[in-house]
Amino acid sequence: MNKICLMTIAMFFTLLNISNSVFAHENRNIVIDAAHIRASIPGTNVTSAYMSIENKSVKTIVLTGASSAVSDRIEIHQHVMNNGMMSMRQVKQLIIKEQEQVILQPMGYHLMIFNVKKPLLPEDNITFTLHFAHQNDVVVSIPVQSIKQEKQAKKQHHHH
């Protein structure tokens, strides 16, 4: 990443913080919502990020990865059943068809964050850059949530 790009991102986040809209970022075609990172469990340096990614464009979009200052290794993962055992595997890309949405959530797709440089604590907001094929990066500020907060947020998301 060059200096100008970093400056642009820094400016962008200054603006985001002023408007205090840290939960969702919208560009013309890609809408990120309900993004959160699971707080670090003491003694571990691996955690995961979840969100919904909506493709409002008229073309398929392809998520190819993510990057963040908190880790040098972030992978797109999927939970799969293997001989009755739940396991994870890396997927190289996530295809989101036009007018469709993919939800990254516990037990499903997620962004796996390895070698977290410092514990991620509830109330932290972490800058993530999502990379797409043939699309500009999308930069999001993702709040860290404890598992308890995650469950509460999920309840509020369901309107029964």
- Residue 91 Cβ, how far from Cu ion at the closest point, in Å? 10
| Tokens representing residue 110 in the block | 């997620």
Q: Which is nearer to Cu ion, 57 or 105 (CB)?
A: 105
Q: Looking at 94, 112, 120, 140, which residue binds Cu ion (CB under 5 A)?
A: 112
Q: Which is nearer to Cu ion, 52 or 57 (CB)?
A: 52
DSSP three-state, residue 79 = strand
Q: Which is nearer to Cu ion, 56 or 79 (CB)?
A: 79
The span of 21-29, 53-61, 105-113, 115-123 binding Cu ion (CB under 5 A) equals 105-113
Q: Is 88 in the site for Cu ion (CB under 5 A)?
A: yes
DSSP string, 13-38: HHHHHHHT--S-EE-SSEEEEEEEEE
Q: Is 25 in the site for Cu ion (CB under 5 A)?
A: no
Q: Find the binding residues for Cu ion in span 48-87 (CB under 5 A).
A: 77
Sheet strands (E) in 30-137: 30-38, 47-55, 61-67, 73-82, 85-90, 94-96, 101-104, 110-114, 125-133
DSSP three-state, residue 66 = strand
Q: Is 38 in the site for Cu ion (CB under 5 A)?
A: no
- Residue 114 Cβ, how far from Cu ion at the closest point, in Å? 9
**For residue 143, what are the β-bridge partners?**
125
Residues at the interface with Cu ion (CB under 5 A): 77, 88, 112
